[in-house]
Each structure stands twice: as C-alpha cells, then as structure tokens.
C-alpha cells in the first residue's frame, strides 16, 4: 500500500505540536512508510527550537520532520507546502492527513480514516470525530454554507431550522459513518487523486473556510466527503487562534474568508443575499431576546461587534472593488 503523510501547520504553538506528535508515535505503522511533516509558518518565537529538539531527543526523526517556511501565509499555504514535500518524498502517496497543531489523535485514528478510503474508492475526503477538552463530541460533519443557512444560523430558531433543512445549522454528531458536505479541517484526510483532480488548497483563504471551499471543489469534481466517527481526535479548539475566547472580537481574516467563500460559491449577488438573510435572522434574534421569547441557546459568548464587522466589512469590500478579484467556481445554485 502507498504511504500516508500527516501535515501539521504550526504558528507559535510549539508545545502543542510536540503533544500532537507524541500522540501519533504509537500509530507509525498506519502511515505505511509515510511521514509527519510539521510546517512552521515563520512563527518568530521558539517553536522551531521546541519542535526540532523534541524530534531529535525523542528519536522521532525517522518519521517526523520540520519544514520552516519564510512567511506566515496561513493554513492553506502551510498545508500546500507540506503536500508538496510529500510529493517530493513519495510521488505516488495514497493520502495526506491534515491535522491541527492543537489536537491529540486517539488510538487508531489514522487507521480508521485510511481503511475508509481503501474500502470506498469514490470517497475523496474523510473526517474524524472531533472531541472537546471534556471528551464530548463536537459537530465536525457539516452541511454546506448557503444564504439560507445564514438566515438559519443567525436566527437560532429551532422551528425555522426544521422548516428550512430539517436539522440544526450544524449537524449533530452521529455514531455511524455518513456522507456530508464538508468536514472539519482539524482532522481531514484527503486522497492524492483528489489533489491531482482539483489542485491545491486556495491560499486566498488565510484561515477558516479553506476546508469548506476545498470540499466543495472536490464534490463538484465527483468525489464524496465522509465522516467516520470511529476516528477520534481531541481538539483544544481555539488554542492556536484564540478565536473561541468568550466575547473577543473575531479577527478580520475570518470575515475575509467568509466573504471569499460566498463569492466563489454563489457570486457577489449570493454574498449580498447571504448578508441580507443573516441580518433578517439577527434582527429576529435580537427582537425575541428583547421580548423575553428566548433566543439565547447558550450562545452568549459570541464575538463582540459581530454584526458591524460582518455587514460593514462586506459593504466596504464591495465599494473598494475587492470582490471582483475573487475567482468564481462553476455555477452553483443557492
């Protein structure tokens, strides 16, 4: 069987990467002769020293290597560099597993993902069950973002969710494998044939939505995306970015990535439709809260200035002509 590579993109999380590598050490046979490639996106701290020292002192150099990059080009940029390195080492490799630096792989995670790819030749992407720090499963298999789902997500109104899609905005975890639209990039195995067919990840995304875009492109090329719950990964979500810290303002690159995704998938009109529907949903949420009709649902840790950053940011990008430079995918129904 052909090798499987693991790509880990680091930016100032050297200690977390060492923990991640330690969790992979017992699963070397599942790599089938492949390697773990840790990319450092010009962290500028002690990450390179910490990771390099651990690889040397723990005897991991036979299966792990550190690849420093000249700049912090983001998640897609780092993973593309790791994939290019995998092609140098083994041009006919079977798959690459994209793994976040703030994860710990549970026993058998690589094997379960690889076995699913082996048994299902039309599956091009397969994701694992993501667990939070308490060991509870998080949503990691998702429906495709769309203008209507922006309404659903902003409104947080269960009857509306059932009417629109028969489900919550984020699908609830299931105990059996199933097909989905996209899986979390925290742990996502990609068949080499998919990379050959659709090309690299879009480096126009700095962080967030790049896996959504990639899964969409793969599905448009005829590949399936699956979720395999037996493969489990503990994810300290936000440890690398801080994006989940309560009440913190969401970084501008999140909104830029959302904007890029919607324009690529639905066009400028689709982005504007998504924003309008999001605003309607948001207004309904605020109104229900004001009237004491609910609307909290444990989501009071949302980012500050959310509505302003999302809507005003898109208007500014439109007026500046930035949206014209975003490439469109093949026509995709909203």
Q: How far apart are CA 40 and CA 317, in angstroms?
A: 31
Q: How far apart are CA 77 and CA 152, in angstroms?
A: 32
Q: Give the residue from 191, 141, 180 showing the smallest Cα distance to 4.
A: 191
Instruction: Give me the sign of the Cα torsion angle 157, 166, 116, 188.
Output: negative
Tell me what pLDDT residue 174 has.
Answer: 78
Tell me what pLDDT residue 170 has.
Answer: 46
Task: For the chain, list residues with pLDDT below 70.
Answer: 164-173, 238-247, 296-301, 331-334
Tell me what pLDDT residue 210 has.
Answer: 98
> Which residues are CB-contacts of 105 (< 8 A; sequence separation ≥ 6)?
20, 23, 24, 27, 99, 187, 232, 233, 234
Tell me what pLDDT residue 230 has.
Answer: 97
Q: How far apart are CA 198 and CA 117, in angstroms?
A: 18
Q: How far apart are CA 228 and CA 238, in angstroms?
A: 23
Q: How far apart are CA 30 and CA 238, in angstroms?
A: 28
Tell me what pLDDT residue 294 has.
Answer: 75
DSSP label at 153?
Answer: H
- For 333, phi then psi, to 5°, come to -65, 140
CATH 3.90.550.60 in the chain is located at 4-138+173-235
CATH of the domain spanning 4-138+173-235, picked from 3.20.20.370, 3.90.850.10, 1.10.630.10, 3.90.550.60: 3.90.550.60
Tell me what pLDDT residue 169 has.
Answer: 43
Tell me what pLDDT residue 158 has.
Answer: 83
Q: Is the pTM of this model over 0.75?
A: yes
């Amino acid at each position: 069987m052909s090798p499987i590579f693991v790509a880990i993109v680091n930016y100032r999380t050297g200690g977390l990467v060492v923990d991640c590598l330690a969790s992979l050490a017992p699963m070397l046979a599942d790599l089938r002769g492949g390697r773990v490639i840790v990319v450092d996106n010009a962290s500028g701290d002690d990450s390179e020293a910490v990771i390099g020292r651990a690889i040397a002192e723990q005897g991991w150099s036979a299966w792990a290597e550190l690849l420093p990059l000249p700049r912090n080009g983001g998640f897609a940029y780092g993973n593309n560099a790791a994939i290019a390195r995998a092609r140098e080492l083994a041009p006919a490799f079977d798959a690459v597993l994209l793994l976040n630096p703030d994860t710990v792989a549970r026993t058998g995670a690589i094997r379960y993902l690889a076995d699913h790819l082996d048994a299902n030749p039309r599956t091009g992407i397969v994701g694992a069950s993501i667990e939070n720090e308490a060991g509870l499963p998080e949503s990691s298999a998702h429906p495709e973002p769309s203008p209507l789902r922006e309404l659903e997500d902003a409104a947080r109104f269960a009857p509306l969710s059932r009417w629109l899609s028969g489900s919550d905005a984020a699908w609830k975890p299931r105990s059996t494998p199933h097909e989905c639209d996209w899986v979390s990039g925290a742990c996502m195995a990609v068949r080499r044939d998919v990379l050959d067919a659709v090309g690299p990840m879009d480096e126009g995304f700095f962080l967030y939505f790049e896996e959504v875009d990639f899964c969409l492109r793969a599905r448009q090329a005829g590949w399936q995306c699956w979720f395999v719950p037996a493969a489990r990964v503990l994810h300290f979500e936000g440890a690398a970015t801080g994006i989940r810290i309560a009440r913190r303002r969401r970084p501008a690159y999140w909104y830029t990535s959302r904007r890029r995704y919607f324009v690529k998938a639905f066009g400028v009109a689709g982005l504007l439709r998504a924003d309008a529907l999001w605003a309607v949903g948001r207004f309904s949420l605020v109104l229900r809260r004001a009237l004491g009709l609910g609307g909290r649902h444990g989501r009071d840790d949302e980012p500050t200035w959310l509505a302003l950053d999302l809507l005003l940011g898109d208007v500014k990008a439109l007026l500046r002509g930035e949206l014209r430079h975003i490439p469109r995918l093949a026509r995709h129904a909203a």
